[in-house]
Amino acid sequence: MGASLLCGLLLTSCYSYTSVVGDGAQGSSQVTQWNHYVIYGLAPVGVSDSKAMAGGAENYEVFTRQTFVNGLISAITFGIYTPTTTTVKK
């Protein structure tokens, strides 16, 4: 039991994904916002709008991930609150 729990903890990782809109980012300007989920990320409470974050740009990249701080907060709350971070680079 203890070994399987330890393996489960060691094999977990942060996730990330990137979406490219149009030709992708053309500059180095970026905006970052947190997304708020509850119950291990199953129920969204407040999710950022990447199109609004792009500010009307037609070419940008959206990078969503669970950072170390997001994972730490999720662990402290035992998954009740599970935030992620979205960065839009234009």
Q: pLDDT means per 10 residues in the chain (90 residues)?
A: 64 77 91 95 93 93 94 93 95
Q: What is the CA radius of gyration of the chain?
A: 16
- Nearest CA to 87 out of 13, 18, 15 is that of 18
**Could you tell me if 15 and 66 are in contact, meaning their C-beta atoms sit under 8 angstroms apart?**
yes
Q: Residue 41: what pLDDT?
A: 87
- Domain layout of the chain by residue ranges: 14-89
Q: Residue 54: what pLDDT?
A: 93
Cβ-count burial 26-40 (b if 16+ within 10 Å, e if not)? eeeeebebebebeee
